[in-house]
Amino acid sequence: MKITTIVGARPQFVKAGVVSRAIRSTEGLEEKIIHTGQHFDANMSDVFFEQLGLPKPDYQLDINGGSHGQMTGRMLASLEEIFVKDRPDCVLVFGDTNSTLAGALSASKMHIPVAHVEAGLRSFNMAMPEEINRICADHVSSILFCPTEQAVQNLQDEGFARRDVQILNCGDVMYDAALSFKPHASKPDIDGIDDDFILVTCHRQENTDDPERLANIVNALNEVHNTLGAVLCPLHPRTVRCIEKLGLKVEFKTLEPVGYLEMLWLLANCKLVMTDSGGLQKEAYFMDKYCITLRDQTEWVELVEHDFNQLVGADKNKIIEAARSAYNSEFSRSIQLYGAGDASEIVANTLRDYF
């Protein structure tokens, strides 16, 4: 069976790294990879292929920049041409990016079955582009690989149980990746990393494109850095541009985006994680670190319910208070939320048996 995998952004490279390995070691399956080019910077794309052993893409579309509609439209047109030529038996998409949406829509319009890894997640915030992408991808998919029971329940609440689709809680492929690559974690080439540093990332448009929210976050991080513990922040290129445009003063330590193995090292050695990333919330949990989430909602509700994660939005006082509270707290994992670390094998075996 011919599987075509669509990737385009950092989290998808990580997920595809372990799933592609499982697919290629499963008899009866063959895979082609399409890289849309959504993340085109070498530090956000090429390095992941190198570090994760992900095969070189069969197609490199180099589609990036422009509005959501422009980007997605260009991807749709290019993917359709490839699907007409290759006629895959199944198109595999990951997560909630524009690449996810384009791959799912293009395949479904050509009546090619779509398998969605990380299906069923909901933040219930339709202002987030990612929420729209994941909902649309779910509704045109034939196989829905859910990472949690809550994700399964979300789909059932939306009526998927009455549809001719396969819904499976396979666990989280990101957990597979963390277990697989943690022994190979690599310290970034930067000076002056404090033993008790706080790892921060901030890239979501709801924060970067809102001047008040971004200013609140930067000011809060400055105070945390100066009064609690060193803040270390790999900065997304869009965040850098927005900070410069607003003329915000950054007092904490910044660095360019890092590869996955470097991020694993930072997660393993930090004191605390603060982020607006979806994936990093889970990766903090995988590495036994508390997380403070710079968003008003999260799709990973189980982390909040079990007190591994705290939502603070972009409220300066809440960010500072949460950091002070969590900084010296002892992490205790009392429950395993994301499967047994074999999600990738379940995905591959399910694809083999589906047809």
Which residues, in sequence order, are CB contacts of 136 under 8 Å at separation 6+?
Answer: 101, 104, 105
Largest CA distance in the chain: 59
Amino acid (one-letter) located at 187: K
Q: Tell me, yes or no, if 203 is annotated catalytic.
A: yes
- Burial grade of 247 (CB within 10 A; 0-12, 13-18, 19 or more): exposed
Q: Give the angle subtended at the CA of 181 by the CAs of 33 and 187, to the nearest 5°.
A: 115
Which residues, in sequence order, are CB contacts of 293 under 8 Å at separation 6+?
Answer: 274, 275, 276, 281, 309, 310, 311, 312
Interatomic CA distance for residues 327 and 323, integer angstroms: 6
Pick the catalytic residue from 203, 225, 236, 306.
203
Which residues, in sequence order, are CB contacts of 308 under 8 Å at separation 6+?
Answer: 284, 285, 290, 291, 331, 333
Of 329, 291, 297, 324, whose CA–CA distance to 310 is shortest? Answer: 291
Which residues, in sequence order, are CB contacts of 155 under 8 Å at separation 6+?
Answer: 119, 120, 138, 144, 146, 161, 167
Q: Give the catalytic positions in this structure.
A: 203
